[in-house]
């Protein structure tokens, strides 16, 4: 297994980023974001995924995660595999999706060019796991995650963006259960 997938120390939180192939802006529709949120919540309940922070952008996801059960790489693999199938189906069946043919064609081409897939690829294969072994690293990544929507110009304040754990860190309840980093 390549080091770009490895989580060396399962005992500490890791920062991960995973992106849609070709950085396609898929997560502009609530329907698609909800599929991803539901899958993350399932992994929390059933697979032992711990979420410390998260943010869904239009073409990628940032998270600080941990686990007390299954290895993190296995949880992410399963989640990405499941969401890939579910999102392909949702895109193909969405009558409002004006970019349907274009999106599916790009993902079909990406899958055919990748020997690890059969015929379709939704996610880029790497997660870029970074072990967060110090409070300074945790704080830096936490700020980065929560300020991503601000930097993109979606909101003025991080807690205004609903598809992120910034709400949890400001005292409100977000879409996912989050263990706050103190």
Q: Could you read off the pLDDT of 69-104 as tens digits, one per residue? A: 888 889 999 999 999 999 999 999 999 999 999 999
pLDDT band at 182 (very low <50, low <70, confident <90, very high): confident
Q: Could you read off the pLDDT of 16-33 as tens digits, one per residue? A: 999 999 999 999 999 999
Angle, CA 27 vertex, CA 59 and CA 83 arms, to 5°: 90
pLDDT band at 10 (very low <50, low <70, confident <90, very high): confident
- Give the span between the Cα atoms of 57 and 54, in whole angstroms: 10
DSSP state for residue 22 in the 8-state scheme: G
Average confidence (pLDDT) over 141-167: 97
Q: What is the pLDDT of residue 6?
A: 65
Average confidence (pLDDT) over 100-112: 91
Q: Look at residues 47, 44, 37, 125 and name the one whose alpha carbon lies nearest to residue 86.
A: 37
Angle, CA 19 vertex, CA 14 and CA 23 arms, to 5°: 155
- Give the span between the Cα atoms of 56 and 83, in whole angstroms: 14
| Contact assessment for residue 55 and residue 148, using Cβ atoms and an 8 Å cutoff | yes
pLDDT band at 5 (very low <50, low <70, confident <90, very high): low
| Contact assessment for residue 125 and residue 114, using Cβ atoms and an 8 Å cutoff | yes
Domains present along the chain, CATH in parentheses: 3-169 (3.30.70.1290)
User: Residue 48 pLDDT > 70, yes or no?
Assistant: yes
């Amino acid at each position: 297994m390549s080091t770009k997938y490895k989580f060396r120390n399962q005992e500490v939180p890791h920062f991960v980023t995973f992106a849609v192939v070709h950085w396609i802006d898929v997560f502009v529709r609530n329907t698609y974001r909800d599929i991803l949120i539901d899958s993350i919540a399932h992994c929390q309940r059933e697979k032992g995924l711990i979420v410390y922070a998260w943010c869904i952008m239009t073409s990628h996801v940032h998270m600080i995660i941990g686990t007390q059960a299954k290895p993190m790489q296995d949880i992410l693999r399963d989640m990405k595999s499941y969401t890939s199938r579910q999102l392909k189906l949702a895109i193909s069946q969405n009558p409002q999706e004006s970019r349907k043919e274009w999106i599916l064609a790009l993902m079909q081409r990406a899958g055919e060019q990748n020997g690890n897939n059969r015929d379709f690829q939704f996610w880029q294969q790497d997660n870029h796991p970074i072990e967060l072994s110090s409070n300074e690293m945790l704080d830096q990544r936490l700020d980065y995650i929560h300020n991503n929507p601000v930097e993109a110009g979606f909101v003025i304040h991080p807690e205004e963006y609903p598809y992120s754990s910034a709400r949890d860190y400001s005292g409100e309840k977000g879409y996912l259960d989050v263990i706050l980093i103190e």
